[in-house]
Chain A
Amino acid sequence: MKFSTLLRKMSKSILFMVGFSLIVLIILTCATSSSWTQWSPTISKLTERLREPDWFANGGLAGHPLGTDPLGRDVLTRLLQGGWTSLQIAFIVTLISMSIGAFVGLITGYFGGVFDMIVMRICDVLMSIPNIMLALCVVAILGSSMFNLIFTLTAIGWVSTARIVRSVALKTKHQEFISASKVLGASTWRILWKEMFPNAITQLMIAASAYFGGTILVETNLSYLGMGVPVPQPSWGNMISDGRQYLAAAPWVVIAPGIALMLTVLAFNFMGDGIRDVFDPRNKN
């Protein structure tokens, strides 16, 4: 499928467009927030602690539209910049996981043999330990930091992608256009990259949307278990878990990042569903 046809088809899918626009909006807002928010996300100001949300009534951004947290920091500011942290983590993890997964999947699917056997058994093993537990162990050992978090999620994340791409590679391996390329003397790398990889792009995009949302969710889980982004740098995960003790007195500290997170994951799920719809052979448009 040509790239332009692909774009045209996708722009017709309401689900995709809603998801995509929402994602662009969220990313732009979060990414630029440091230049237009009035408060520092990290410096605490104990005289201002646990202020209730004023919903932009006190001079808009100069007040505390979403209130302040237990350390007197503006929740909205932290929400936006924490979002940027969470989004960046999710983006990097997704990108690297997908790249490794696609590479491994193509190689194992195309070459097969002992290498394929070994890699697939490793995948089996990794898949049979619940993700969170494995991540918990690894981060606990490495110590919690941004880098370790990203490393761990990537180390686990490539597995499902590798399986998806491998099955596509297996399916296309014996098709005639591959044989034709071989006969024409195309190099193995060319076949893998130019002939087989494009067949897996749809699946990859769907998997990526799901994995992006999933990573944001896992980050909250790990944050809660004390293995997330280290304080004071805000992330949606550590904002939610830090609000635990003040749940009764200041519910807004927890509710705001939870809703932001939900909207973001929702947008990615929409986008994934949209892509699936567009490529569903049953869908004629």
Chain B
Amino acid sequence: MKATGLLEKQATQSDQVLRIENLHVEYRSGGGIAKAVNGVNLTLHKGEAVGLVGESGAGKTTTALSILNLLPEGTGYITKGDIWFNNESVLKKSETELNKMRGGQIGMVFANPLTSLNPVFTIGHQVAMVLMKHRGIKEKQANETVKQLLEMVGIPGARLNDYPYQLSGGMRQRVGIIAALACSPQLLIADEPTTALDVTIQAQILELMKKLQAEYASSLLMITHNLGIISELCQRVAIMYGGEIVEYGSVREIFTAPKHWYTYGLLHAIPKLTGPRETLEALPGLVANAQNLPAGCKFHERCSHCLEKCKSQIPPMFKITDNHSVACWDVEGQV
């Protein structure tokens, strides 16, 4: 397919941090196979913030775990494609190299701060263990840094001996964020970092992430189903559906002129605060079932503009402008 090569063209440049090439991931258990990711291509440049958007079950978290090569053992398999971090294949790295990369060069913030901190270790230790591992320092020295980090996100340094249960959800997520950023990684992956939090806390956390990303000059892969977060934090956005990226481009273009009907649906499912009141358009149907994906375009069963072609042929990425591509047969004529 000639069109799929478009995104990789820029990827040969030296400032690229992450390049995902044609990634396919399957989950196998009890005889069932779920095709969670089906040919994802994505590139992140230095200091860039890219959003990965989709409903739950679209394969976002799987993509993130694949980058760290941390798919659940015995069930999750990368069947095709490769992931390049600093022009080195993550899949070919040894376990020792991977452990150096995880936490040291790539930090990850998890979705649920209530479950992603170990309940029986102090928060101080959970941040310090990253420093101890990657900086090779003792816990005592590490604790000094941990205190500074805690202060930086607005938690008194003296609380480093607290256990997770003694902290509120928002505070726990701050701990999760500084644990991910402690070693100034080149890439920060944030997997729905605000979903489990109250709305007011969400804003604080986002503000914090924005500030820290700028401060640490790291690239950011922001995974979310919340389009508001994307417009706040990211320059580019990839829309994911059924384990594929269906639309990709600059945040501005995609938000003002979405080309894929799924993106259109997503954008019109959010109430607008300004302007005349419109009826919300809910997307009909359910997210594509990874165990039984439809043929052709994964979205065609829910699409209001479905063509005959959509039911049998998977659409390639069509380039609309330099900053915008989309995988949809309906826009073929516009290219």
**Direct touching of A and B (C-beta under 8 Å):** no
